[in-house]
A = this chain, B = another copy of it.
């Protein structure tokens, strides 16, 4: 019986060998709208599906915060699977400034400390909450949101995304960390010229 059933195993193998259960990113091959090209199955190992977010990000910066992404570009096993993750470290007083993810909904989990956070919808309503350890909060796709450490100890959160390539547009960088001319920034944001020039200076923008 062993022999015959084993033959049966071979019989099925044509179907099984051709199956694409996953598409681990080959970052050196062409990328398309649906994601990166797939690594050859024979070269895939368990390590393609494992990544570490154990290291705290460096919060020795002006915002006292760090975002460590595990998107498809960092964690190729996620490619095309519609999910990804990032780690947020917020020292006391830390802030992840106002931003959006153009391509994904975000689900945040607090694992240490307390975090005050909000998103704002198309009707300009604010959904504001202070979260504690074990709380989760969802930010619907593409809407502005932020996170602020609400306590005296470092806060840590892990955020999941509904895409392996969620994108990240930080408002201040979008407005001030490039060469978009100051008069256009003023005109399209109603900010004062002095304010625009001040933040352009801080963030390395020009114009």
Q: Which residues of A contact B (CB under 8 A)?
A: 1-2, 4-9, 11-23, 26, 29-38, 41, 45-47, 49-55, 57-58, 61-63, 66-67, 69-75, 77-86, 95, 97-98, 100-103, 105-107, 109, 111, 116, 118-129, 131-144, 146, 148, 158, 160-162, 165-175, 177-180, 184, 187-192, 195, 198-199, 201-204
Contact = CB atoms under 8 A, between A and B. Distances in A.
Nearest to A134: B54
A171 to B, nearest CB: 6
B8 A62 contact: yes
A71 B160 contact: no
A46 B111 contact: no
A107 B85 contact: yes
Q: Is the interface of A mostly helix, strand, loop or mixed?
A: mixed
Contact of A184 (B61, B118, B175): B118
A171 B172 CA distance: 12
Nearest to A122: B19
A83 B105 contact: yes
Contacts of A55: 134
A72 B19 CA distance: 9
Nearest to A93: B187
B83 A161 contact: yes
Given A180-B126, A195-B195, A137 B49 contact: yes
Contacts of A201: 2
Contacts of A106: 83
23 contacts: A5-B62, A6-B204, A14-B69, A16-B123, A18-B69, A21-B102, A31-B37, A33-B38, A49-B129, A49-B138, A50-B137, A52-B134, A77-B138, A83-B160, A84-B107, A98-B188, A102-B122, A121-B169, A124-B177, A124-B178, A160-B160, A171-B171, A192-B198
